[in-house]
Amino acid sequence: MAKSSNNRININFNVPELIADMWAPLTDEQREFLSSQFVLQSYKKNEVIHYEGETPTHMMCLLSGKVKIFKEGVGGRSQIIRMIKPVEYFGYRAFFAEQDYVTTAAAFEPSVICLIPMTAINSLVGQNNGLCKFFIKQMSIDQCYSDERTVNLTQKHIRGRLAEAILVLKESYGLEEDESTLSIYLSREDLASLSNMTTSNAIRTLSQFATEKLIAIDGRKIKLIDEEKLKKISKIG
């Protein structure tokens, strides 16, 4: 894992409140134990959190910022598998599967992550059925997301994939104060990677959407104009 003690911070995050769904089933003694185990780590923009091929050691919860999970493909072209938003957990499935990471995680913007040693998690899971159910639920949610992404990336045409990506970004990160501009600014390369297409196809399709007045483009900013039409395009693929 790419981390340094120099990046550890003492920002006043109420971690138990933020991870309430995992915290709730624990006993007071288990909560005290977990509190002694986790650390908060800051990551700069584009800093790697963990690399593909590394052995997992920590469960991670994004407290602030944005993280992308990606895999290097043929010819150095990366594929964004998932965008992580606050407060989401990641980095733990490989540990339970007794595998190395099959993807890389990097901060998309300055981010703060709660790192919990998997040895501590493993110990608590053996003691607490409620915590077991929490992880079963989390992994089920992740599997459903992965299944849906597979269908979207393999069966939809370019327009459907790009419309889907735009809607996913809106769902994950919301809108700015104007209630129409995505609050995340992806490069054309990252948007193409998220949509499983070439950068040139992403640029061309974005321009088509703008011409059709589905969106407005201002640099990396994307403003939604006709969200219902985007949903239809995403649905029909």
Q: How far apart are the first and last CA of the chain?
A: 38
Distance in angstroms (rounded) separating the CA atoms of residues 169 and 175: 9
pLDDT in tens, 11-33: 678 999 999 999 999 999 999 99
Distance in angstroms (rounded) separating the CA atoms of residues 8 and 183: 27
Domain ranges of the chain: 5-129, 154-236
Query: Do 5-129 and 154-236 come out as alike in CATH topology?
Result: no
Per-residue pLDDT at 166: 96
pLDDT in tens, 204-219: 999 999 999 999 999 9
Architecture of the domain spanning 5-129: Sandwich (2.60)
pLDDT in tens, 129-149: 999 999 999 999 988 888 887
Q: Which fold has domain 154-236?
A: Arc Repressor Mutant, subunit A (1.10.10)
Cβ neighbors of 22 (< 8 A, separation 6 or more) are: 89, 131, 134
Cβ neighbors of 102 (< 8 A, separation 6 or more) are: 52, 71, 94
